Amino acid sequence: MLFKDLRKGLSVTLKYLFTHAVTCQYPTQRLNVPERGRWLHALNLHEESQKIKCIDCGLCEEVCPSKCIEIIPTENEDHTKSPAIYNIDLGRCCFCGLCVEVCPELAISMSDKYELAGYDREKFVFTKEDLIKVGIEYNNKLQKKEGAL
Amino acid sequence: MEKKVKIKINGKEFEVDSEKSILQAARENGIYIPAICYSDRFGAIGACRICAVEIAGMKKPMLSCAAKVKDGMEVTTNSPALDQLRREIIYEWDTFHPLQCGVCDKSGECELQNINYEFNITENPKEAQTDPLSIPQGTIHYEWKIIHHDANLCIQCRRCVAVCDKVVNFGILALVKKDGDRKEIDTKDGKPLDCEFCGQCVSVCPTGAMSSKLFKYKARAWEMEKVPTTCGFCSSGCQMDLNVKNNEILRVTSEEYTPNMANLCNLGRFNYSVSKSDRLIKDYSLNSKTLNQEAMLLELSQILKNTPKEKIFGISGARETHEDNLAFKMFFNNTLSNNNIDSLSSTHIGKLYKYLPQSVNTLYDFSDISDANLIICFGGDIANEMPRIDWSITRGAKLLKTSKVISAYWKDTKIDTLGSIPLRYEPGRELDFLTSFAFALKSEGYGAGLDGLDSLTGSEFDVSSIMEEVKKASNIAFIVCQEALERSNGEEIAKAVSNIALLLKDKIKVYASSKYNNAFGALYNNYGSSNEFSIQRLLEFAKEGKIETLILLNADLFSFLSDNEAKIVRDSVKNIVLFDTFESKTSLIANAIVPVPFFTSQSGTFINAEGRVNKINKAIECNVPCAWEFLFKLSTNLGYNLSSAKLQLKDKKITLNGPADKIYTINTNSSVKGDGEFVFIANYSKFRTSVYSGYGEGAKLAQSQSVLHISKEDAQRIGLNDGDIANIEANGASIALPVKIDEQMPKSVLAAQLWFENTNPYNITGGFNNLVRANLTKAQGGLK
Ligand code: SF4
Ligand code: SF4
Ligand code: SF4
Ligand code: SF4
Ligand code: SF4
Ligand code: FES
């Protein structure tokens, strides 16, 4: 009685042991996430001038339900405004994407980077520089993809 | 008496005051009419036209802000035709209005945004018809100080023009012609803005066209918390809101419903950065050693225990809160059981309220000034001393046109542009005017039956030009300026003012000006009541060795004494204990320093010149306890428990005690110190109320240093041009100041402003005096 059940169970296990895997073999293999997925934020630059697009209108800061965006503005020499500091605390972010939706300048978007675990709370605070880097990498990737098409 | 009329608005009947405009009547009854250019602060302008309403029987819509109500009037505030009319106006404003709400500091509180939203404007047929290339580039005035003007954002409502003219009475702004038939707001003479830098224009601008450079890009309107408080720079007691983000004040605003009607001067509106000055005192220190609070309490207790009680003296700067001021008084009266204490109120208003009889010493609201038939402003340039009184005078004379103005002073000032009757005496001859006036009043039969009338004698000074107005007036506001009371014969001046007040008893309201924000609070707490000690005797007491320990509460010795006198005090007193917020020349020489919070970092009350008990609220954290808390602890250490003392005032308004009705005999033989060719006067700038008020950006940018005002004639004779350095010498001392030629200065008179760091005018006048005869020379070799 007992052995019959065991044998049946083991046969299933053994069958799958020798058939090929159906799950993604993370971390050796990574899935392509959908383009409209909501992952790590990116701050974008103007293509020509390479200046940050964000003008600190403050809308993302205001709309963010978890209040995890902090911007400190500065006046540039040409009297335009841009963020001196732009922090997102991903430890609080709920990835709702409202900041992206509200941005009038298309200055903030979301990349395909979803590996955001860490050992340290402080590391969850992504600075302007971090987010610009994400933007550059992601936009290059998108461009490559477009070129490939 | 106000007449009432009946009008119908949107079919509903209302009874309203016949003097009101349709807009006011509608607002009072909760009916909304859009209005952009109107404000109660300056009345109707008639520029925006959006407030138009239909009136039965009239073909065209009428401007509701300008049209008065009439009996039987039927008003419609909304109709398809009106809606279309208003839309057309908005389209016009919107046409190529730069789409920069994202960075515009006005965004979130912009009336142009609001009205577009209200009318749900999503497209603009006008813009579609206009050639974008035909839109001219408006000027952006980056070069102005403190105020930023971007003509591209301007909708030409002319509110800024109206407020500068009708409230501030400065009138520097105008809608001026630029190339073509285009118009822009600019200064009348086209030069960079040089004005009172009060920012009233910023406060009324419906758009981001007039804005504050100090606030530019600092924060979005919705990100700041507004903490209501009372301005701590002068005794006007303006109500304002500190706009705070991240424990920092980013701007100051005020609302139209406040008694000051949202008006603030340069210091109130733009000088908030004093609160984060790098010269804030942060640590307790004893002989330059930093201590913690407990150690300081022990050390101070020891010092005070070792000093015989009768050798401990105290001076209050009359700038701290009422609570601190009262605790300090109690500390002396109860803990130390002496009354060796006085305040800086005693240098001016203290003199007046010592003599002003109880029957005429009531403190009145400033709004009564605007309602008076006659305003007599005596003894100073009120616009420099207390801007809020200046606005009240302007409101009465220029806007409501209820008041006539008499200005009795040695110089033409701004209020003389209000069509005043000028009475010009020589500086130092204040008593001539006062005694002549009193004598003339007596001769007209005023004060009949009062004892001592016979002692009133006149002088050569002719007051006949004003007597007609005085007789006609039923309601006179008499304003006594600080400058007059700070003269060395200020007590006699106070007595002479008291006589006039008593003679005009039933129809006069006396106001006194003070640059010290809680000066009236110090009077209320009975400072200056000691028969032996007064602040005027500080030097004498110090020299005689009567003072062993001197405790100063927000009182900077160098702000009311000459450097030399302050040094004498320093050298004759063993311990100087300073409670203060900011570093000063006194903090450099004090033995013990106890930090106290700035008014933006504590809660409490100030009492203003109206006698109102105004609240202040803590807006930013600074981790320094209030002076009263420290004094209570100190008192406990000395064996007296003050903690049951009630510091908070329940009343909203205070009254002062005064003597019984009495006509004073005036001693007119005052002698002026010095023997130079010029009369030199130390008076005030509207950009300072203390030395530390210059630690803020707004005041510093508006005026960075004390300058010597001199008539053109004198300047030419001595060979001085604007900006040259002049030496003024009197009493064996001299000061050097940059020259400013001032067309309004009379011949042979010089004036410089107190409380700037470049010089201390008391060095030549001596403390408790502000007028001296002096000699003037051009400094050799330019800047010293
Ligand atoms: S909404 Fe866009 S432009 Fe505005 S502050 Fe955020 S990122 Fe910057
Ligand atoms: S003035 Fe008003 S409408 Fe114009 S950019 Fe500024 S916030 Fe926007
Ligand atoms: S700051 Fe004051 S004085 Fe200067 S233009 Fe504006 S309203 Fe006039
Ligand atoms: S600057 Fe402002 S207040 Fe002045 S006219 Fe233009 S919109 Fe009106
Ligand atoms: S300094 Fe005086 S007049 Fe100016 S805002 Fe402050 S209280 Fe008002
Ligand atoms: S509010 Fe009446 S015209 Fe502007």
CATH number of the domain that residue B764 is part of: 2.40.40.20
Give the minimum alpha-carbon distance from A127 to chain B in angstroms, rounded to a whole number: 19
- Which residues have C-beta within 8 Å of that of residue B588, sequence separation ≥ 6? none
Q: How much of chain B is in helix, strand and coil states, percent to nearest 5?
A: 30, 20, 45
Provide φ and ψ at B225, rounded to 5°. Answer: -95, 135
Q: Which residues of A contribute to the annotated binding site for [4Fe-4S] cluster? A: 54, 57, 60, 64, 93, 96, 99, 103
B363 plus B502 within the same structural domain = yes
Q: Name the pLDDT band for B132 (thresholds 50, 70, 90).
A: confident
B216 — contact with chain A (CB < 8 Å)? yes
Model confidence pLDDT, tens digit, residues B86-127: 999 999 999 989 989 999 999 999 999 999 999 999 999 998
Q: What is the pLDDT of residue B2?
A: 75
What is the bridge-based pairing of β-strands B284-286 and B289-291?
A: antiparallel
Higher pLDDT, B124 or A35: B124
Asked whether the beta carbons of residue A57 and residue B103 sit closer than 8 angstroms, the reply is: yes
Model confidence pLDDT, tens digit, residues B401-425: 999 999 999 999 999 999 999 999 9
Model confidence pLDDT, tens digit, residues B752-774: 999 999 999 999 999 999 999 99
Q: What is the pLDDT of residue B672?
A: 84
Q: How many CB pairs under 8 A join A and B?
A: 32
**Percentage of residues in chain B with pLDDT exceeding 90?**
95
Q: What is the pLDDT of residue B103?
A: 95
Residue A5 has pLDDT above 60, yes or no: yes
Model confidence pLDDT, tens digit, residues A129-149: 999 999 999 999 999 988 876
**Percentage of residues in chain B with pLDDT exceeding 70?**
99
Per the domain annotation, does B667 fall within a domain?
no
Q: What is the pLDDT of residue B781?
A: 63
- Domain borders along chain A are 33-148
Q: Mean of the pLDDT values across residues B257-286?
A: 97
Asked whether the beta carbons of residue B103 and residue A55 sit closer than 8 angstroms, the reply is: yes
Give the minimum alpha-carbon distance from B211 to chain A in angstroms, rounded to a whole number: 14
Q: What are B28's two structure tokens?
A: 């009072």
Q: Which residues of B touch A55 (CB under 8 A)?
A: 102-103
Are B739 and B707 in contact, with CB atoms under 8 Å apart? yes
Are B727 and B764 in contact, with CB atoms under 8 Å apart? no
Domain boundary among B218, B248, B275: B275
Q: What is the pLDDT of residue A1?
A: 65
Q: Which residues of A touch B217 (CB under 8 A)?
A: 56, 73-75, 81
Edge-to-edge order in the sheet of strand B476-480: B421-424, B404-409, B374-378, B476-480, B508-512
Q: What are B475's two structure tokens?
A: 């309601």
B241 plus B258 within the same structural domain = yes
Ligand 1 pocket check for A54: Cβ under 6 Å: yes
Asked whether the beta carbons of residue B220 and residue A62 sit closer than 8 angstroms, the reply is: yes
Per the domain annotation, does B769 fall within a domain?
yes
- Which residues have C-beta within 8 Å of that of residue B414, sequence separation ≥ 6? B169, B170, B381, B383, B390
Q: Which of B101, B102, B222 sits opposite A62 (nearest CB)?
A: B222
Q: What is the pLDDT of residue A30?
A: 85
**Domain over A33-148 is classified CATH 3.30.70.3270:** yes
Q: What is the pLDDT of residue A36?
A: 85
Domain residues for the domain of B368 are 350-512
B638 plus B733 within the same structural domain = no
How far is residue B286 from each of residues B292, B305, B408, B566, B587, measured CA to CA in Å?
10, 16, 49, 20, 11
Q: Which of B22, B45, B82, B163 to mutate to test the pocket of ligand 6 (most atoms within 8 A of CB)?
A: B45
Burial B447-485 (b: 16+ CB within 10 A, else e): beebeebeebebbebebeebeebbeebebbbbbbbbbbb
Q: Which of B36, B40, B77, B89 to mutate to test the pocket of ligand 6 (most atoms within 8 A of CB)?
A: B36
Nearest CA in chain A to B224: A62
Q: Which of B102, B220, B223 sits opposite A105 (nearest CB)?
A: B102
Q: What is the pLDDT of residue B415?
A: 97
Give the minimum alpha-carbon distance from A56 to chain B in angstroms, rounded to a whole number: 7
Nearest CA in chain A to B213: A75
Rg (CA), chain B: 28
Distance of alpha carbon B293 from alpha carbon B627, whole angstroms: 12
Per the domain annotation, does B669 fall within a domain?
no
Q: Mean of the pLDDT values across residues A18-39?
A: 86
What is the bridge-based pairing of β-strands B312-316 and B549-553?
A: parallel
Q: What is the pLDDT of residue B376?
A: 98
How far is residue B386 from each of residues A148, B132, B237, B423, B512, measured CA to CA in Å?
74, 49, 10, 20, 10
Distance of alpha carbon A25 from alpha carbon A66, whole angstroms: 33
**CATH for B32:** 3.10.20.740
Residue B363 has pLDDT above 50, yes or no: yes
Distance of alpha carbon A28 from alpha carbon B578, whole angstroms: 71
Residue B716 has pLDDT above 80, yes or no: yes
Q: Mean of the pLDDT values across residues B63-67?
A: 97
Are B769 and B487 in contact, with CB atoms under 8 Å apart? yes
Domain boundary among B468, B497, B512: B512
- DSSP, collapsed to helix, strand or coil, labels residue B603 as coil
**Partner residues linked to B749 by β-bridges:** B679
**What's B571's DSSP letter?**
H
As a whole number, the mean pLDDT across chain B is 96
Model confidence pLDDT, tens digit, residues B210-242: 999 999 999 999 999 999 999 999 999 999 999
Nearest CA in chain B to A76: B217
Per the domain annotation, does B90 fall within a domain?
no
Pocket of ligand 5 (CB under 6 A): B 231, 233-234, 236-238, 264-265, 267-268, 386-388
Domain boundary among B512, B533, B567: B512
Which among B329, B314, B337, B280 has a CA at the least distance from the CA of B577?
B314
Asked whether the beta carbons of residue B217 and residue A56 sit closer than 8 angstroms, the reply is: yes
Ligand 6 pocket check for B26: Cβ under 6 Å: no
Distance of alpha carbon B564 from alpha carbon B587, whole angstroms: 16
Q: What is the pLDDT of residue B1?
A: 53
Q: Which of A61, A62, A81 sits opposite B217 (nearest CB)?
A: A81
Identify residue B536 by its one-letter amino acid code.
Answer: Q
B311 plus B446 within the same structural domain = no
- Write the residue with the smallest CA distance to atom 8 of ligand 1: A54
Cis-peptide, bond into residue A27, ω within 30° of zero: yes
Packing angle, helices B430-443 and B464-472, rounded to 10: 50
DSSP states of B572-586 as a string?
A: H-SEEEEEESB--HH
What is the ipTM, given to two decimal places?
0.85
Q: Which of B140, B217, B223 sits opposite A75 (nearest CB)?
A: B217
Q: Which residues of A touch B139 (CB under 8 A)?
A: none
Distance of alpha carbon A98 from alpha carbon B23, whole angstroms: 42
Provide φ and ψ at B518, rounded to 5°. Answer: -115, 30
CA dihedral B714, B720, B726, B727 (to 10 degrees): -50
Furthest-apart CA atoms within chain B: distance in Å: 88
What is the bridge-based pairing of β-strands A125-126 and B4-9?
A: unpaired
Which among B635, B603, B593, B690 has a CA at the least distance from the CA of B323?
B603
Number of independent structural domains in chain B: 5
CA dihedral A82, A85, A90, A93 (to 10 degrees): -50
**CATH for B592:** 3.40.50.740
Distance of CA B380 to the CA centre of its chain: 13
Model confidence pLDDT, tens digit, residues B600-656: 999 999 999 999 999 999 999 999 999 999 999 999 999 999 988 899 999 999 999
Model confidence pLDDT, tens digit, residues B645-693: 899 999 999 999 999 999 999 999 877 888 899 999 999 999 999 999 9
**What's B163's DSSP letter?**
H
Q: Which residues of B touch A61 (CB under 8 A)?
A: 220, 223
Distance of alpha carbon B156 from alpha carbon B119, whole angstroms: 20
B360 plus B429 within the same structural domain = yes
B470 plus B609 within the same structural domain = no
Burial B509-540 (b: 16+ CB within 10 A, else e): bbbbbbbbbbbbbbbbbbbbbbeebbbbbbbe
Q: Which residues of B touch A73 (CB under 8 A)?
A: 217-219
B250 plus B198 within the same structural domain = yes
What is the bridge-based pairing of β-strands B592-595 and B284-286?
A: antiparallel
Asked whether the beta carbons of residue B220 and residue A57 sit closer than 8 angstroms, the reply is: yes
Q: What is the pLDDT of residue A126?
A: 97
Residues in chain B: 784
Q: Name the pLDDT band for B784 (thresholds 50, 70, 90).
A: very low
Per the domain annotation, does B217 fall within a domain?
yes
